[in-house]
Amino acid sequence: MVNLKFSFANKNAVITGAAQGIGFQIALSFLQSGGQVAIWDYSEQAIETAKKELAQFAGQVHFAQVDVTQKESCEKAAAGLPWACDILVNNAGITRDKSFAKMTFEDWNAVINTNLTGLFNVTKTLSEKFNATSTHKRIINISSVVGLYGNFGQTNYAAAKAGVIGMTKTLAKELGRKGFTVNAVAPGFIATAMTNAMPKETLDAMASKVPVQRLGSTSDIANAVLFLSSEQAAYVNGTVISVDGGIVL
Ligand X SMILES: NC(=O)c1ccc[n+]([C@@H]2O[C@H](COP(=O)([O-])OP(=O)(O)OC[C@H]3O[C@@H](n4cnc5c(N)ncnc54)[C@H](O)[C@@H]3O)[C@@H](O)[C@H]2O)c1
List contacts with ligand X (CB under 6 A). Answer: 16-17, 19-23, 41-43, 46, 66-69, 91-94, 114, 118, 142, 144, 187, 189-190, 192
Q: How far is the CB of 178 from ligand X (least distance, A)?
A: 25
Residue at 193: amino acid letter:
A
| Closest among 168, 172, 190, 170 to 181, alpha carbons compared | 172
Q: How far is the CB of 220 from ligand X (least distance, A)?
A: 11
Q: How far is the CB of 36 from ligand X (least distance, A)?
A: 20
Of 8 and 42, nearer to ligand X (C-beta) is: 42
Alpha carbons 147 and 230: distance in angstroms, whole number: 25
Residues 6+ apart with CB under 8 A from 202: none
- The vertex-226 CA angle with 222 and 232, nearest 5°, equals 155
Of 35 and 93, nearer to ligand X (C-beta) is: 93
Of 134 and 164, nearer to ligand X (C-beta) is: 164
Three-class DSSP labels, 61-112: EEEEECCCCCHHHHHHHHHCCCCCECEEEECCCCCCCECCCCCCHHHHHHHH
Q: How far is the CB of 164 from ligand X (least distance, A)?
A: 8
Q: Is 149 a catalytic residue?
A: no
Of 39 and 175, nearer to ligand X (C-beta) is: 39
Instruction: Spot the catalytic one: 42, 149, 157, 235.
Output: 157
Active site residues: 157
